[in-house]
Amino acid sequence: MSLNFLNVIISNLLLLISSKCFKKTSFRIFVEGYLFSLNLWYINEITPAFVLRVLIFIAKDLLVTKISNTNRYNMNFLSIDCSTDLSSLFIKSKNKTFIKFLQSDKLSNDLLMKKILDFFKENNLEIDDLSHIFVNQGPGNFSGLRGSIATAKGISLSKNLILLGYNTFLWSSTKFFKKDVSIFSFIRFREKYFLQEFNKNLEKTSQLKALKKDELIKSYADKFKIFPKNMAHTIDKEILKLKNIKIIDLDHNDLELLYSKNLLDNDLIKPLYLG
C-alpha cells in the first residue's frame, strides 16, 4: 500500500473523528498536496453538515494517476526544434519556461550541444532536473533534423531521460484538439504542399499526401486548413486568400498535451523526410 494512499485514509479518519467531537462548529484539517501543485500541504475548512460528501470525494481527489492533469503540467523537459532555418530550444523546469532561438544553418552537432549547455547555464538550470526530452522529427532542414535528433539521443542516453519525437504536422494541430472537424495540416516543401489529415483526437486519418497548388485550391478550399507560422512566408498568396485557413504560432507547451494523449513517437526516433 502506497504512502499517499495511507495518508488519504488517515486524513479521512481524522475527519470522521473530528466530526463526532464538533458537530456544531467548523474545523480545519491539513491535507497533503496533489490537489493543484507540488507536494504542498493545504488547510481545508470543513463544515460537519458536509462531512459525508467530503468523505466520498476526498480520496478520489488526492489519488493521482500517471495521466492526471497534475502530473502532466508538472513535467520538466527540454524540447529541440531544428526543422527550419530558425531553430528553438525550450525548457520547462519547476513550472517555469525558457526559450532560445538559433540559426539552424550555422549549427553543427557539437555547436548545438554547446548552445544547449549554455542555455541551461544562463538560466541557472540543471539537465539532471529533467525527466523528458522532446525533439522535432520534421519535416524540414535535412542537416538540422539529423543533427538535433542525434544530439537529443546523446543527451537521453547520458542523462537517462525519456526521449520522444514529434512532427510539425501534429504539433500545428494541437490547439484544435477536440475540435469537431477534420484537421488538414499543411507544410510547403519546395514546389509542393504536403498534407496530413487528423481527426478531433489528433489521430491520423490518412497517409501523407503531396499536392500541387492548384490541387490544394480545388480539393481543399472549404476544408479546415492549418499552416505553421514559421513557414507562412512560403505559402502562395492564392492559398492564403482561401477561407477556413489558420496560421498557427507553434508553442512548445502544447507538447505536454500530445504526451498526455500518447501521441508522441517513442519507438524509432528518426527524421521525417519529404520527397
pLDDT in tens, 258-274: 999 999 999 889 999 88
Average pLDDT over residues 111-116: 95
pTM of the model: 0.73
- Cα(72)–Cα(65) distance, integer angstroms: 10
Asked if 153 and 171 touch (Cβ cutoff 8 Å), the reply is no
Q: Is the pLDDT of residue 70 over 50?
A: no
More confident residue, 105 or 138: 138
Q: Is the pLDDT of residue 180 over 90?
A: yes
- The mean pLDDT of the chain is 80
Structure-derived torsion over alpha carbons of residues 17, 22, 26, 31, reported in degrees to the nearest 10: -20
Asked if 148 and 110 touch (Cβ cutoff 8 Å), the reply is no
Q: Is the pLDDT of residue 25 over 60?
A: no
Residue recorded with cell 480545519: 28
Q: Which pLDDT does position 110 carry in this prediction?
A: 83
Cell of 69: 492533469
Q: Are residues 181 and 222 in the same domain?
A: yes
Q: 55 lies in which domain range?
A: 3-64
Average pLDDT over residues 169-176: 97
Q: Are residues 179 and 156 in the same domain?
A: no
- Cα(93)–Cα(75) distance, integer angstroms: 7
Residue 135 lies in a domain: yes
Task: Please enumerate in sequence order all residues whose Cβ is within 8 A of that of 6, keeping only pairs 6 or more positions apart, or say none.
Answer: none
Q: Which pLDDT does position 252 carry in this prediction?
A: 97
Domain with residue 238: its CATH number is 3.30.420
Quote the number of domains for the chain.
3
Domain boundary among 139, 164, 189: 164
> Among 103-107, 174-178, 215-219, 234-238, which is the least confidently predicted range?
103-107
The listed range with the strongest mean pLDDT (21-25, 49-53, 81-85) is 81-85
- Cα(217)–Cα(53) distance, integer angstroms: 57
Average pLDDT over residues 22-31: 42
pLDDT, tens digit, 9 for 90 and up, residues 202-229: 999 999 999 999 999 999 999 999 999 9
Asked if 224 and 183 touch (Cβ cutoff 8 Å), the reply is yes
Q: Are residues 57 and 89 in the same domain?
A: no
Q: Which pLDDT does position 190 carry in this prediction?
A: 87
- Cα(150)–Cα(147) distance, integer angstroms: 5
Q: What 3-state DSSP class applies to 266?
A: coil
Residue 258 lies in a domain: no
More confident residue, 184 or 46: 184
Sheet of 245-248: strand order equals 209-211, 192-198, 183-189, 225-228, 245-248
Q: Which pLDDT does position 23 carry in this prediction?
A: 43
Residue 195 lies in a domain: yes
Domain boundary among 106, 135, 164: 164
Residue 35 lies in a domain: yes
Amino acid at 52: L
Q: Are residues 148 and 218 in the same domain?
A: no
> Per the omega criterion (within 30 degrees of 0), is the bond before 139 cis?
yes
Residue 269 lies in a domain: no
Q: Are residues 93 and 160 in the same domain?
A: yes
Domain with residue 113: its CATH number is 3.30.420.40
Residue 275 lies in a domain: no
Average pLDDT over residues 141-151: 92
Residue 260 lies in a domain: no
Domain boundary among 11, 42, 64: 64
Of the pLDDT bands very low, low, confident and very high (cuts 50, 70, 90), residue 73 is low
Of the pLDDT bands very low, low, confident and very high (cuts 50, 70, 90), residue 108 is confident
> Among 34-48, 112-126, 132-146, 166-180, which is the least confidently predicted range?
34-48
Q: Which pLDDT does position 151 carry in this prediction?
A: 96
Residue 15 lies in a domain: yes
Supply angle C-alpha 137, 140, 144, rounded to 5: 75
